[in-house]
Chain A
Amino acid sequence: MKRRLYGDKAYVASRIREITNQIDEEHKSGVHDSILDMAVAELTKIEMRELAQKTPENQRYSGETILSQAVSNVRERLLTVKPKFDFSEYLKSAERKLRVPAAELSELRTKLGTTKQLSRTGDEMVIQGAQPYQVKELGLKGAIEGLLVYPERDAVDVDLDKLKEIGSVEGDWFPYQLKVDDLTFVIDDDGSIYTSTEHFSQRMFEHAKELINKIAKTLYA
């Protein structure tokens, strides 16, 4: 089964386009749509997390700055999603709702900077190819509890049938379970692959890492 899978940000943006198209068709732009309200807040939340991850560690970045920058970026993006739609009330609503999470993100960002300087986080690496992806060790060094692979781009083309060449696939829909060598890998609707490595020995962990790379290469080929 071949499918194109979208990352959360691209998916939410595409749904916003559909909802606003429908609002226009039904001439209901005067009514505050509750689902659109939640979708715009979600997009802003994703943007805030990305900003907090990407900005240079030495740059001061308060919660308010993260929030206002995220709202501004989302406003720009929504202009390309649905140029003539008035999102101002939805963006104001998102800004109100996300003030507290923004302050928390700012604090976490500072702490993450220190943690990374001390090299305490698990390794992460980008694997190049036709559809590049990232492999991330989840947890602090010495206590890695999982491996996550996710596509670098907004969308990825996958062929789920190819997974049968590697192991047995269980489930009728996402999240699929792929069993290989007594390990379970979870394939989700955003194209990500996850496996738990809790209490693994170094040897078992390296084996899981080899397998998850093999699965990613097959899935994203």
Chain B
Amino acid sequence: MITLEVKFRNIQLTKAEQNLATGAYTRNVLRERFQTVLAAKPQFTTLNQFALDESVLRRMISKYSEQLIYQPLNEIRFWFEYSSGVFLEPGYPPLFYAKNRGKILSPNKSAAAAVGEGIAGLLMQRLYQCRKLARPNHDYPDIVMEAGSKTYLVESKASIDTNESHLRGALDEEIFRLAAFTSTCAQLDTRPVGALLVGTLVVSESRYRSLVSEITLL
């Protein structure tokens, strides 16, 4: 059983702020301006915490992830075993894994990405009662979902065994990209479009934390 804590923020963007996000693609000065705008928006607050059965997560990973990885949950468990130091004890391989000087061992990035995509899909279903419309093949965004007549563009980020501020930084870097893309879709498309950036931090083998940013275009 995995405990999933969900933190949420809603970022409402005016037309001018959407244009700023689009400009941030090409000019650093506009990107910095956008980061200042973002800092003034509401911050994350804890929304919910629930127990998640591994069967559910496995199913969601098969449904939403395009990572070619076998048993990502076991991979994550293995990493936490290694990083907890228990490999020194009897019953574990008596090897030194960082054989090259300076080599830093890191958790499997594909496992983290797979879990992140699965959690993003799960939260969209559970929190927004959405259904998957498309899973673009190696394209942007990760998932396109629908609820009623509204379309949600969903992008996921995930990291294992890092601190939350590291993930928040990565999310803030991603927000302008997703905001710019959503703004373009909203102008071209007939139906209302929203976006969600779901960042998942794998805190331990049994504790995950998701930071959900909903982007609403004004």
CA of A36 to CA of B71 in the docked complex: distance in angstroms? 33
**B55 and A196 contact, CB distance less than 8 A:** yes
Known: A38-B136, A97-B137, A189-B131. A171 touches B126 (CB 8 A): yes
**A186 and B144 contact, CB distance less than 8 A:** no
**B126 and A35 contact, CB distance less than 8 A:** no
Choose one: A18, A42, A146, A194; the contact of B134 (CB below 8 Å): A42
Within 8 A of A (CB), among B1-57: 53-56
Least CB distance from A184 to B in Å reads 4
**B122 and A175 contact, CB distance less than 8 A:** yes
Chain B residues with Cβ under 8 A from A65's Cβ? none
Choose, from B90-98, B183-191, B199-207, the stretch at the interface: B183-191
Q: Does A205 contact B (CB under 8 A)?
A: no
**B137 and A184 contact, CB distance less than 8 A:** no
Q: Does A41 contact B (CB under 8 A)?
A: yes
**B125 and A185 contact, CB distance less than 8 A:** no
Known: A38-B133, A184-B53. A173 touches B126 (CB 8 A): yes
Q: Does B210 contact A (CB under 8 A)?
A: no
Q: Does A91 contact B (CB under 8 A)?
A: no
Chain B residues with Cβ under 8 A from A174's Cβ? 125-126
**A186 and B185 contact, CB distance less than 8 A:** no
Within 8 A of B (CB), among A2-28: 8, 11-12, 15, 18-19, 22-23, 26, 28
**A41 and B189 contact, CB distance less than 8 A:** no
CA of A63 to CA of B34 in the docked complex: distance in angstroms? 44
Count residues of chain B with CB under 8 A from any CB of chain A. Answer: 32
**B136 and A35 contact, CB distance less than 8 A:** no
Chain A residues with Cβ under 8 A from B63's Cβ? 188
Chain A residues with Cβ under 8 A from B129's Cβ? 173
In the complex, per-residue mask of A158-201: 1 if CB is within 8 Å of any chain B CB, else 0: 00000000000001111101000000111011000011101000
In the complex, per-residue mask of B151-162: 1 if CB is within 8 Å of any chain A CB, else 0: 100000000000
**Closest A residue to B143 using CB positions:** A38
CA of A173 to CA of B44 in the docked complex: distance in angstroms? 24
**B144 and A41 contact, CB distance less than 8 A:** no
Known: A173-B125, A173-B129. A38 touches B144 (CB 8 A): yes
Chain B residues with Cβ under 8 A from A194's Cβ? 55, 58-59
**B185 and A19 contact, CB distance less than 8 A:** no
Chain A residues with Cβ under 8 A from B135's Cβ? 42
In the complex, per-residue mask of B102-144: 1 if CB is within 8 Å of any chain A CB, else 0: 0000000000000000000010011001011111110100001
Known: A34-B188, A41-B136, A171-B126. A186 touches B55 (CB 8 A): yes
**A35 and B125 contact, CB distance less than 8 A:** no
Chain B residues with Cβ under 8 A from A22's Cβ? 190-191
Chain A residues with Cβ under 8 A from B151's Cβ? 35
Q: Does B165 contact A (CB under 8 A)?
A: no
CA of A148 to CA of B44 in the docked complex: distance in angstroms? 37
Choose one: A31, A38, A146, A186; the contact of B188 (CB below 8 Å): A31
Least CB distance from A5 to B in Å reads 10
Q: Does B100 contact A (CB under 8 A)?
A: no
**A39 and B126 contact, CB distance less than 8 A:** no
Chain B residues with Cβ under 8 A from A172's Cβ? 126
**B58 and A35 contact, CB distance less than 8 A:** no
Using A15-B146, A175-B126, A189-B125 as known contacts, list a sample of 14 further A-B pairs with CB atoms less than 8 Å apart, ordered by residue number in A. Answer: A19-B190, A22-B190, A23-B190, A34-B188, A35-B191, A35-B193, A39-B144, A41-B134, A41-B137, A172-B126, A173-B126, A175-B125, A186-B55, A196-B58
